[in-house]
Amino acid sequence: MALKKRIAALASAVLLVLLIVSCQKEISTEGLATVPGSGNGNPALPANRRCVSCTFLPLCDSSEFTYLLDGTDTSTGIIHLGTDTVVNGQTFSRVGGFAAFNGGIMYSCANQEYKLALPLSQFGLNPDTLRALLQPALDSLLPVPGAGINIPNTFYATILKAGQGAGTTWLDTLVTVNVPFTQGTTTVNLRLFAGIEYTYLGKDISYSVLGTNYTNVQRVQGKPKIGLAGASAGQLPLTIPDVEGQVDFYFAGNIGLIEMNAADSTGLVSSAKLVRYRL
């Protein structure tokens, strides 16, 4: 079951990517006000600065967010917006200021779908690298080699669908493998996939973080998911269990990310809670 373990590990890694993107900042605590406002004593903001007008994750040049990470370290980052880029017909804003990615990320909230674009190159990877890693495991698991492991150059993480109702679920597929499988004289085509499944657990709720109560909060939970699809897939002697791990996001209207918790089968492994901010 090597393939199952490797794809499960890849799905779990994406959850950690989301945590790093949202929470790992440059260390600095000067010039910020206490939640919930920008307060007095802050330096003047640049005139005519650019902004991404997204209700639940508003970002502007020079925006600053301070988070308490894992209950111990305070971390702050300064947001920088670059030029927009179009990917598959959708416009993404380039966002810098995240210490983990020198090239930054791409971000969009078009049609109330909050989406991150995460290029593999920023992890020092490319599709060929991952394909070379996964193909031997696939060959050892299945009697017929896969017709190809489909890996995109960019992963997409849809972390919120604000236009949907509570209880809505959606799946971001990260990797697919096309597999011809023969039963008797019949050959069927199967698709093995790995991705992140999200559930909209709370819509327009109240939620308290470090003693501050927020309203108009959206809660989304992401979990790794691997599965098998295709004709007769349910009749094959191949069991793919659930993958342990999850991330919970809490977004407040006109503020942004106020809390995020990542957990695995042993419990909470990482957390980020908003301490103060300046939009």
Interstrand relation of 105-108 and 148-150 (parallel, antiparallel or unpaired): unpaired
The confidence score (pLDDT) of residue 187 equals 74
Is the pLDDT confidence value at 65 over 80?
yes
Q: What is the pLDDT of residues 236-257, one digit of tens each?
A: 555 665 667 888 999 999 999 8
Query: With the CA atoms of 54, 14, 276 and 204 taken in that order, what torsion angle do they form, in degrees rounded to the nearest 10?
Result: 50
The DSSP bridge partners found for residue 192 are 177, 228
Grade residue 9 by pLDDT with cuts at 50, 70 and 90.
very low
d(CA 93, CA 52) in angstroms, rounded, equals 7
Beta partners for residue 158, in sequence order: 115
User: pLDDT at position 120, please?
Assistant: 75
Judge contact between 128 and 152, C-beta under 8 A. Answer: no
How far is residue 100's CA from residue 139's CA, in Å, rounded to a whole number? Answer: 34
* pLDDT reading at 64 higher than 90: no
pLDDT tens readout for residues 253-262: 999 989 989 8
| Residue 47 pLDDT exceeds 50 | yes
pLDDT band, residue 101 (cuts 50/70/90)? very low
- Please state the φ and ψ torsions of residue 89, each to the nearest 5 degrees: 85, 0
CA 274 to chain centre: 18
Helix (H, G, I), strand (E, B) or coil at 171: strand
pTM equals 0.77
Cα 14 to Cα 118: distance, rounded to the nearest angstrom: 10
The pLDDT assigned to 78 comes to 84
What amino acid is encoded at 155 in this protein?
A: F
Provide the mean pLDDT of the chain: 75
3-state secondary structure at position 128? helix
Quick one: which of 80, 87, 82 has its CA closest to 115?
87
Of the pLDDT bands very low, low, confident and very high (cuts 50, 70, 90), residue 138 is low
